[in-house]
Amino acid sequence: MYRIFTLSIFFLVALSTSLFAQSQAVKVAQEYRDDNAHSILENYLEFLSIPNVASDIENIHKNAEWIMNAFEERGAEMELLTLPGQPDVPPVIYGELNTPGAERTLILYVHYDGQPADPNNWTHAPWKPTLYSASMEDKGEPIEFPEADESINPEWRIYGRSASDDKAPFAAMLSTLDAFQENDIELTSNLKFFFDGEEENGSPHVRQILERYKEKLDGDLWLFFDGPMHQSGRPQVVFGVRGVTGMEVTVYGPSRPLHSGHYGGWSPVPGQMLAELLASMKKETGEILIDGFNDSTAPITQADKEAFATLPDVDDEIMEDLGLTWTENEGRSLIESYMYPTLTIRGLSSGNTGELARNVIPTTATATLGIRLAKGNNPEDMKDKVEAHIRKQGYYIVRDDPDMETRLQHQKIAKVTRGGGYPAMRTSVENPMTQQVVDALKKATSDDLILYPTMGGTLPLYHFEQIMQKPIVIVPIANHDNNQHAPDENIRIGNIWYGIDIYFSIFTMD
Amino acid sequence: MYRIFTLSIFFLVALSTSLFAQSQAVKVAQEYRDDNAHSILENYLEFLSIPNVASDIENIHKNAEWIMNAFEERGAEMELLTLPGQPDVPPVIYGELNTPGAERTLILYVHYDGQPADPNNWTHAPWKPTLYSASMEDKGEPIEFPEADESINPEWRIYGRSASDDKAPFAAMLSTLDAFQENDIELTSNLKFFFDGEEENGSPHVRQILERYKEKLDGDLWLFFDGPMHQSGRPQVVFGVRGVTGMEVTVYGPSRPLHSGHYGGWSPVPGQMLAELLASMKKETGEILIDGFNDSTAPITQADKEAFATLPDVDDEIMEDLGLTWTENEGRSLIESYMYPTLTIRGLSSGNTGELARNVIPTTATATLGIRLAKGNNPEDMKDKVEAHIRKQGYYIVRDDPDMETRLQHQKIAKVTRGGGYPAMRTSVENPMTQQVVDALKKATSDDLILYPTMGGTLPLYHFEQIMQKPIVIVPIANHDNNQHAPDENIRIGNIWYGIDIYFSIFTMD
């Protein structure tokens, strides 16, 4: 029924591409993937069979070759962006697909490498993609590839490394381009492709690539096709990511472990010193007590608040799922908390606990502090502020374990090891270029689109922002329960269909 | 020169045992061990060759047999104290050596079992006792057993398991009894022997033994021959030991580890909760903030203060050695601190630190708390007080990891695992019976005797105090640098000589 309806719509609107209404683009896309579902899947399974860990340079190049061929077949001009003298760096695959008369250029980011996978932890081999009748959690079973006359259920899953993260956008994008070609529809933007080959390895060379090929990569808007959809299952567009940094703090007690009977109540106890130091930095209820920690944070605008209003209120549900009856910074929603810098104790250690506990006063106590950054926070400046606070508590800061002379010169000593990191990136919700994408997405989705001001996770997007100076928007298509970075990664077929729908809508936006 | 002098003294005083002045007893002892040093050592090396870990019941019985024979040869009546139906429990070796007319009975405690030893960590096999020219730290070298005409240097060491802890008192005691016999001197007290065979295993059956053989074990004063001398090298007598207990506290964050980017600044962080809880219990400067923690502590008397005055002030030296410029409870000396209960963080853990640190909010944070007890503190009561404090901080206390239902019913949850333990034991410095021992020791030592009100370490002496209701005094003879409980345990020969001197003096006290 549905199919007949969409078909008739298609014939009505497809008489002329110039008359083609972007609002109806989705129908064309749906029609196309209904007709071609088998070949889309077959093609995708082939692609998922090529191992794609960034360090496996031979297979990385096989992936690159597959991608280059696929995009060239669809009319794009492709090339590899490399760094001279660094043959073992996975190349960025670059491409262009120009539309005569188009005045806007979209740069599409996807990464073709995937997380390493230990086959022992997978139900099936990571690079032997396997079709399932539903997710394993929903008692799905492996199924054979469907016969030509058998319809394909959007609830089916493909299990395999990178099925979601981040090869899924390739499956959707290639099908989208095919749909354009088959229907003789023209895109409304020029496309540039930027396919990263070492994202899961932290994209260590992306900055150099951007600097080297800056001119070639120029365009109006970067679209990052990566990440999962909202956990509610609703479509979303994401305007930013948190930044990240961190530090490790070690405080010192006696120079050797002391018998807790012979020296307890007399020797300073590093665990106690650390507890007092950490309690002075932040309340368990979330309030950060470090001077100026929040000063550089970008203010929350009216538009941000309106974006929050598009978000489903799932906090209570998540809390229940996590066995929590309270949260830090009471009254601030999970998503709202992404707009502020954090200070999180990721690890504590001193002596031993449990079965290994001994009757000693340990020599040191260590806390690993994670700092997530909001727009405006500079990673070095934030660490400086924490260090200033530590000094204010009477500590002398060292970079290496103190020697005896240092110990005897300073009452309290803290070794601070500063981590690296990068700032947050956030494109304004009010940017006119991003508004066009938002409009296109709204048209492609019957569900309310979620405007997500910033993600909790961290991606090195700030390189792109800093060097390219263009707005960046993240448009995810993967199901939220895709097990990315874990064994049994999977994509729900319906999410590839969703990708085709929204890409079609974006590529035909006004 | 010295030897001739002591010899002549001996002849003057030895005309009649009844005229024998106790103040000159030491001279007789010195004379005896000078004359018999080779055979004393030879005998001791033989004894040290018998492995003596409490769990090695076959060898434990070989040790018992050796001891029984040795004491029977010296006129004592020996027997094994056992528990019915428990053949694998190392027996207590009991003995009596009565002196006609003596009105006082001393009960002498020594333990004949030793700490387990991993031969891989020892320079020589633990039960192949090896003579050294000095301590290994002082660049001592292994030496052959001396020829008969070669004098024996008191600075020599014997390396071997239990050389100090706690077989050394046997070497000294047997020689002391030989010296009495050879010189036909009579003891001034009846002696009872109580030789523990599982002290290093925590003396788990000692209470049953004391209860079962209470009448037989009756006497006036228990002398514990165990432990090292003062670190200054000066002789000491110890009137008490700290008690001990402890607990482990685990606080709960989310029910599964959360990505610190996706949930940081929103999810409660167990490390932060624990830091705040621990900081609320105690200041790093030592002040304990738990209500009533110090209420049951026995007051410090004038006599205690006088005993403190006999102690060398070594705190500055120890601090420098440990790289410390400050201590907890400023103004309270190390020894004085033993008179107060302690709360020490022995271990902290949450997530991971260092190389293993991950970008997560851990689910739990754990602190292992050591509590040392002063005279008057009851172990259960002290743990109750800590628990009351934890509740006061808003925690609901559980004994097992909370299930989802429990989590959702209580805001903050702490799992408290209560450790065992036992109270402190302290004999009054003013007890008349102990005063006699102190006088005897003062006469035997040219150095100032240190009156040590309580040791930092913990021994289960309270069983003896509770059941036998008699004063207890600890008289150590081992060198303080004996590596007890560690590889390369050793005894300085001069410390066996010192043992003979003071035992002789005690056994002839008025």
Chain segment A87-106, per-residue pLDDT in tens: 999 999 999 999 999 999 99
Q: How many residues does chain B have?
A: 510
| pLDDT score recorded for residue B28 | 86
From the list A283, A327, A365, which residue is nearest B266 (CB)?
Answer: A327
From the list A262, A279, A351, which residue is nearest B279 (CB)?
Answer: A279
Q: What is the H or E stretch that residue A365 is in? A: strand A364-373
Residue with tokens 């269909």: A497
Picking from B338, B323, B244, the residue whose alpha carbon sits closest to that of residue A359 is: B244
**C-alpha dist (Å) from residue B32 to A107, B71, B155:** 99, 18, 18
Q: Measured on CA atoms in the order B166, B171, B176, B177, is the torsion positive or negative?
A: positive
A243-298+339-421 is a CATH 3.30.70.360 domain: yes
**Contact A358/B at CB under 8 A:** yes
> Is A272–B338 a contact, with Cβ atoms under 8 angstroms apart?
no
**Contact B290/A at CB under 8 A:** no
What superfamily in CATH does domain B2-241+431-507 come from? Zn peptidases (3.40.630.10)
From the list B252, B260, B456, which residue is nearest A262 (CB)?
Answer: B456
Q: What is the nearest CA distance from A340 to chain B, expressed in angstroms? A: 8
Q: Is the pLDDT of residue A16 over 70?
A: no
pLDDT for A292-315, tens place per residue?
Answer: 999 999 999 998 888 888 888 889
Q: CB–CB of A287/A329 below 8 Å?
A: yes
| pLDDT score recorded for residue A8 | 32
Q: What is the nearest CA distance from B282 to chain A, expressed in angstroms? A: 8
Q: How far apart are CA B227 and CA B455, in angstroms?
A: 10
Chain B residues close to A361, C-beta within 8 Å: 344, 346
> Is B248–A357 a contact, with Cβ atoms under 8 angstroms apart?
yes
| pLDDT score recorded for residue B462 | 87
> Is B457–A262 a contact, with Cβ atoms under 8 angstroms apart?
yes
Q: What is the H or E stretch that residue B371 is in? A: strand B364-373
| pLDDT score recorded for residue A2 | 30
**C-alpha dist (Å) from residue B343 to A187, A366, B294, B393, B494:** 72, 19, 11, 17, 38
In chain B, the N- to C-terminal Cα span, in Å, equals 30
Q: How far apart are CA B53 and CA B150, in angstroms?
A: 34
Q: How far apart are CA B60 and CA B439, in angstroms?
A: 36
| pLDDT score recorded for residue B461 | 86
> Is A345–B269 a contact, with Cβ atoms under 8 angstroms apart?
yes
Average pLDDT over residues A28-36: 91
Chain B residues close to A256, C-beta within 8 Å: 322
The domain locations on chain B are 2-241+431-507, 243-298+339-422
> Is A368–B362 a contact, with Cβ atoms under 8 angstroms apart?
no
Structural fold of domain A2-241+424-507: Aminopeptidase (3.40.630)
Q: Phi first, then psi: give them for residue B173, nearest 5 degrees.
A: -70, -45
| pLDDT score recorded for residue A83 | 96
**Contact B334/A at CB under 8 A:** yes
In chain A, the N- to C-terminal Cα span, in Å, equals 30
Picking from B318, B42, B71, the residue whose alpha carbon sits closest to that of residue B177 is: B71
| pLDDT score recorded for residue B150 | 93
Q: CB–CB of B259/A231 below 8 Å?
A: no
> B59 exposed, middle or buried (CB, 10 Å; 0-12, 13-18, 19+)?
middle
Q: Measured on CA atoms in the order B77, B80, B84, B85, is the torsion positive or negative?
A: negative
Q: Residue B156 has which token pair? A: 């020599």
Structural fold of domain B243-298+339-422: Alpha-Beta Plaits (3.30.70)
> Is B265–A328 a contact, with Cβ atoms under 8 angstroms apart?
yes
pTM to 2 decimal places: 0.80
Sequential pLDDT tens for chain B (510 residues): 233 333 333 333 333 333 345 557 778 888 999 999 999 999 999 999 999 999 999 999 999 999 999 999 999 999 999 999 999 999 999 999 999 999 999 999 999 999 998 899 899 999 999 999 999 999 999 999 999 899 999 999 999 999 999 999 999 999 999 999 999 999 999 999 999 999 988 899 999 999 999 999 999 999 999 988 887 888 899 999 999 999 999 999 999 999 899 899 999 999 999 999 999 999 999 999 999 999 999 999 998 888 888 888 889 999 999 999 999 999 899 989 999 999 999 999 999 999 888 888 999 999 999 999 999 999 999 999 999 999 999 999 999 999 999 999 999 999 999 998 889 999 988 889 999 999 999 988 876 789 988 988 777 788 999 999 999 999 999 998 998 888 899 999 999 999 999 999 999 998
In whole angstroms, what separates CA B217 from the centre of its chain? 21
Chain A residues close to B368, C-beta within 8 Å: 351-354, 357
Q: Residue B488 has which token pair? A: 């390369």
